[in-house]
Chain A
């Protein structure tokens, strides 16, 4: 059991002593039941911190924002930033450390194990509520009780837990400075990659029909990219609007800059964007599920990234977010990598 007061006390303590300059955590949002990210610099605000199954955000994204900001203002405060991290979030941090995005001593990880409770999937909840929204949630043992405009609805946790939580093997944040909660799973879980296996049972035509329908809906809001801690490139390959210029860059250069895909949210461009993103995340995505959660039109983006993760594990024995040292998936190879497909 997590006692939220422990997390609050830790945050207050570290801020008061000046051991960290900010604590990135969760607080109750203004939209009813959902938590939202909070950036605490004043010890008195530590009591705003909350911990419950609506804390689904991957806060390691803000470590990236922080790093970019410090680079931009060319300052190094020398004091670490603290972050409340679930097991999945801690794995994202490991990947960022593996890629030397920041130094280990620049961050202080307040690990919190969800102990297998997982987080709520707003989509699943919404479909249970016929597209209406809940304004309040109470967690009652193995059930969730939601309040909506139509009244109260009680749902077993398993029906509204995120797929990735049902499939999660490691709810415990292995990389941490301090950790709350135990290394255990509390509920009956699905097999790893269960959602992916269900999808791959289909043939080529059915797969295309599935994806075609989803890619048609994508509006290229780029929320999937914006919310991903690993998508930290200053200029994205598929959105080459930012074009590095000097005083010598001619107008013709600017007009003829490489454009991999068009801005139009048409099917072909949307597919190219999402597949490129999946490739660029191969071996780096730790299945925090934020891309899929953020998508306003319910494209099952996680399936794409999951496919790459499964290939990495099964074909190349590679596990993203497992250890800070070691090479990345696509910058390394094994002598016995599969090669039968090569003629």
Chain B
């Protein structure tokens, strides 16, 4: 099962600029060690994340998708994360409805000061994704 042991899930992480992206920077600056599986994409606010981005990330081969933003009440744009909370809930329900493992989508609130938390969130996500194996349900196939 060495293939299984070598499997590294690919995570696409949509991080809001003001909190979570800064939090991930803090984790880096603080030299906190955590798995390097997440590819960060900075967005102005989680409220600006269209569900299309999540679906497209899975379509392009992501094994897991993380959305992370400011805590409720702390959104730089006041209401963005409230809207995200709703939209992400819907997309999460839809993903589960189709029969994709619900653990592949994750959402977290990580502030700019929570470098350690960010590292923990990613570590936990990687651990939870490994047993699920590569995502091939929504992934665009090369051949028909």
Contact = CB atoms under 8 A, between A and B. Distances in A.
A123 interface: no
A278 B94 contact: yes
A138 interface: no
A307 B107 contact: no
Interface stretch (A75-83, A95-103, A163-171, A335-343): A335-343
A330 B90 contact: yes
B107 A211 contact: no
A237 B89 contact: no
Contacts of A132: none
B138 A311 contact: no
Contacts of B99: 204-212
Interface string A182-223: 000000000000000000100011111111100000000000
Interface in A258-285: 260-262, 264, 266-269, 271-272, 275-276, 278-279, 282
B139 interface: yes
Contact of A207 (B55, B93, B97, B107): B97
B94 A337 contact: no
A205 to B, nearest CB: 7
Interface in B24-64: 51-52, 55-56, 59
Given A311-B93, A343-B106, A275 B83 contact: no
B119 to A, nearest CB: 13
Nearest to B106: A343
Contacts of B83: 330-333
Interface residues of B, number: 39
Interface string B107-124: 111000000000001001
B79 A333 contact: yes
A237 B59 CA distance: 15
Considering residues A262, A266, A268, A329, which has the most beta carbons from chain B within 10 angstroms of its beta carbon?
Answer: A268
B97 A337 contact: no
A71 to B, nearest CB: 26
A185 B25 CA distance: 61
Contacts of A179: none
A272 B56 contact: yes
B97 A315 contact: no
Contacts of A338: 85, 89
B140 A262 contact: yes
Contact of B140 (A237, A268, A341): A268
A14 interface: no
Interface of B: 51-52, 55-56, 59, 72, 79, 82-83, 85-102, 106-109, 121, 124, 137-141, 144
27 contacts: A200-B97, A204-B96, A207-B97, A207-B99, A208-B100, A212-B99, A266-B141, A268-B138, A271-B138, A272-B59, A275-B55, A276-B51, A276-B55, A279-B55, A307-B94, A316-B86, A330-B87, A332-B83, A333-B79, A333-B82, A333-B83, A333-B85, A337-B89, A338-B85, A338-B89, A339-B85, A341-B89
